Amino acid sequence: MENQEQKTAEPATRAGFTLIEIIIAIAIVGIMAAIAVPNINKQIKRARISACQQLIQTAAQATTTYSLDHSGRVPDSQDAWVEALTGGDDPEIEGGSDALNDPWGNPLHYERVGKGGRFKITSDGPDMEPGTDDDLTNIADKK
């Protein structure tokens, strides 16, 4: 027994994470997500509004081009407008009637204004309700 070496306890090596470490990491990710998600949603809303304004401008330019090709006349109704811009052999806007849908998936509204070649193109906007303050249009309303 004299030659027996004393065994010393070696510290155990850790493999993996403790439950507390995992909970802390999840909490940090949750806090970061709670801060980031509202900002991302605001940016998405702004991007959709900007895309809708661009679509309305493009549709207005296409309608003006159509009127120049037709002696200054613009379509009389929504259906005639959609057909004028998207139908025929040489459409003003490619992609069919779906190309005239706003970023929220709703069709743009067309209205001929007066007897001249004036027209109004409107989107119901983010709330998708017609006649509300967030509607987007190619004509500035005078209030």
DSSP line for the chain: -TTPPPPPPPPPPP-S--HHHHHHHHHHHHHHHHHHHHHHHHHHHHHHHHHHHHHHHHHHHHHHHHHHHTTT---SSHHHHHHHHH-SSS-SSSS-GGGGB-TTSPBPEEEEETTTTEEEEEE-TTTT-TTSTT-EESSPPP-
Q: Are strands 109-113 and 136-137 parallel, antiparallel or unpaired?
A: unpaired
The domain locations on the chain are 26-137
This prediction has a pTM of 0.73
Measured between alpha carbons, how far is 94 from 41 in angstroms, rounded to an integer? 30
Q: In terms of CATH, what superfamily is 26-137?
A: Glycoprotein, Type 4 Pilin (3.30.700.10)
Packed helices 78-86 and 19-69: angle between N→C axes, nearest 10 degrees: 90
Q: What does the block give as tokens for 95?
A: 């992609």
According to the model, what pLDDT value does residue 95 have?
86
Q: Provide block-wise average pLDDT over 10 residues at a time, the chain (143 residues).
A: 58 78 96 91 94 95 92 91 88 89 95 87 93 88 49
Say how many C-beta atoms besides its own lie within 10 A of residue 51's C-beta: 12
Neighbours of 132 (CB within 10 A): 11
